[in-house]
Every structure is written in C-alpha cells, then in structure tokens.
C-alpha cells in the first residue's frame, strides 16, 4: 500500500483565503461598511502573540480591520466591560478572546458575554446550541478546520465510521456533531474510554479519525485502519520539535489521508476564523437591512 496523501493545510487555507477576500470585497462595495474584528488579550504570551500575528496577516489579506484590545492584568469585570464595549460598537463584527485566561476567571461567563452574532470562534452557549439543533452559523474554528480537511479528501462520508478522540467543546464535541450532519456514524472517545481499555478497538475500526487531546503519540500508528482519513489536531513540543497526537511515521504508511503536524489543521484555523467573520459580517448586515 502506498503512503498516505498528506493534507496540506497551508495550500487549502490559501484557496479559501482568496475566496473569502473576494466575498468581503464584494460586500464592502455594496454596503460601504468595512469589516472589523477585535481581539481582546489579558496577558502577554508568546503563543498568543504568534496567533495574533497570524490573525492580523489573514485579516489584512481579506481587507479586514484587526484591532487588538489589551486589558493586561485586569479583573474579570474589566474584561467583560471590554467585551460589552465591542458588543455595542456597530463597527465591530467579530470578537475573539485570546486564550488562556487566568484560572480564577469564570470562562463560561466570559465567553457568554460575547454577542453570539460576533462570536467568530463559535464558542458561546448560543452558537454551540445552534450547532446541536443543526442551525449552525458560527462553528468552533478548529472543529470546522477538521471538517474542511476531511471534505477536501472527496471521500463520501455517509455511513462511514467516524471516531473522535477527545471531547472538548472546541474540537471533539463539535466535530462529532458536524460528522453526524454528514451522516457519518460518530463515536466520541474520552478518558473513561481509555480507562475501560476500549480506545484501541474504537480507533482500529475508524474510517475517519479525529484526534485532539494534546498528548504526543497517544495514538500508535499501527492502530490506524488501512486507508483511513486521519486528522491530527494535537500540537506538542518534544525535544525542540512540534509533533501531533498520532504517531506520524507509522500512521502515514497505513492511512489513506493524513494531516501532518505542523502543516495540517493549524494553518487552516485562522482562515476558518476569517470565514466565520464573513458569516458574522453577513449576519449583522442582514439584521441592519431588516431593521432599516
């Protein structure tokens, strides 16, 4: 069997970035309303700064105004005030909170203070609920990046066995719901699956495998079903190298399609953030049309 086809997130991102930029330009010409996003940060962190730079590059390419609001070393109430200010500003179409937040902050309360129409990460309770109801507009970016890579394979998903390892609300749970929407049979594995000794058996039957737990090599390559689509969301540093959650060298000899780390899900996530901003921008423009 030949080696897996690697899913080039950077190339796929560029394809979508071009289309997104064209659609922003078309809407701007028709409305004279410049799209704008606000990123709110509460700390100076190297990873956070790199993500901000990626956002700014993608925003600039799409003709979007990107503003960073710093509320460094502030209280939770001050952060919520900054969010509410952006909510009330009609010139702002998207809001993102730079993670992680201080441990003593109420994460759910902070996220749910974001106007759902401006929640371009798709992580408010409202937007996650809409996803459950199949009325989704704004979907968590990483989960949507996974689905975009899966769809790029061109493999029909109906009836396929999809196994998601990890049950976070930004990857595992929304990815499972998106796969259900495509008529795949979705199974979510978590810590109790491992405790019961069942993880290997689930992974071995997966036609589609999505892994996002943040543990390097947690999925041995020889567990992969021959020809499977494998999406590795993990980003881990080992001996100065960035590696995923799936044992790459063995996995690429068995999978049909494989997202590498780095170069798979990561480069696509910021472009999906811009796609969500485009959705939010349209949503808010349509509301203005209805109310005017």
Residue list for the binding site for NADP(+): 166-168, 191, 235
Relative orientation angle of helices 125-132 and 172-181, to the nearest 10 degrees: 30
Which of 210, 213, 250 shows the shortest CA–CA distance to 230? 210
Q: How far is the CA of 174 from the CAs of 138, 141, 289, in angstroms?
A: 11, 10, 31
- HSE of 171, CA atoms in CB hemisphere, 13 A: 23
CA atoms within 13 A on the CB side of 80: 12
Report d(CA 218, CA 236) in Å as an integer.
Answer: 11
* Residue 188 φ/ψ region, left for φ over 0, alpha for ψ in the -120 to 50 degree band, beta for the rest: beta
Task: Calculate the CA 12 to chain-centre distance.
Answer: 14
Q: Which segments are annotated as binding site?
A: 166-168, 191, 235
Residue 163: phi and psi, rounded to 5, are -120, 125
CA dihedral 16, 20, 22, 27 (to 10 degrees): 160
């Amino acid at each position: 069997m030949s080696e897996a086809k690697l899913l080039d997130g950077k190339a796929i991102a560029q394809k979508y970035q071009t289309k997104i930029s064209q659609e922003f330009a078309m809407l701007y010409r028709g409305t004279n309303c410049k799209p704008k996003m606000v990123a709110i940060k509460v700390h100076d962190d190297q990873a956070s700064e790199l993500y901000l730079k990626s956002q700014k590059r993608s925003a600039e390419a799409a003709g979007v105004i990107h503003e960073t609001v710093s509320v460094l070393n502030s209280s939770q109430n001050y952060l919520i005030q900054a969010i509410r200010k952006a909510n009330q500003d009609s010139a702002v179409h998207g809001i993102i909170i730079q993670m992680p937040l201080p441990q003593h902050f109420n994460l759910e309360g902070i996220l749910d203070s974001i106007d759902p129409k401006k929640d371009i990460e798709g992580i408010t309770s409202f937007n996650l609920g809409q996803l459950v109801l199949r009325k989704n507009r704004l979907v968590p970016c990483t989960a949507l990046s996974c689905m975009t890579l899966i769809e790029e394979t061109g493999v029909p998903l109906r009836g396929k066995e999809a196994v998601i390892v990890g049950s976070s609300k930004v990857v595992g749970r929304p990815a499972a719901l998106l796969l259900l929407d495509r008529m795949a049979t979705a199974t979510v594995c978590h810590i109790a699956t491992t405790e019961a000794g069942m993880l290997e058996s689930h992974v071995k039957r997966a036609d589609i495998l999505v892994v996002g737990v943040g543990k390097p090599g947690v999925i041995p390559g020889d567990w992969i079903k021959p020809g499977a689509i494998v999406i590795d969301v993990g980003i881990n540093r080992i001996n100065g190298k960035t590696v995923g959650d799936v044992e790459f060298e063995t996995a690429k000899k068995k999978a049909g399609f494989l997202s590498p780390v780095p170069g798979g899900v990561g480069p696509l996530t910021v472009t999906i953030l811009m796609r969500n901003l485009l959705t939010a921008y349209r949503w808010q423009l349509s509301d203005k049309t209805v109310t005017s």
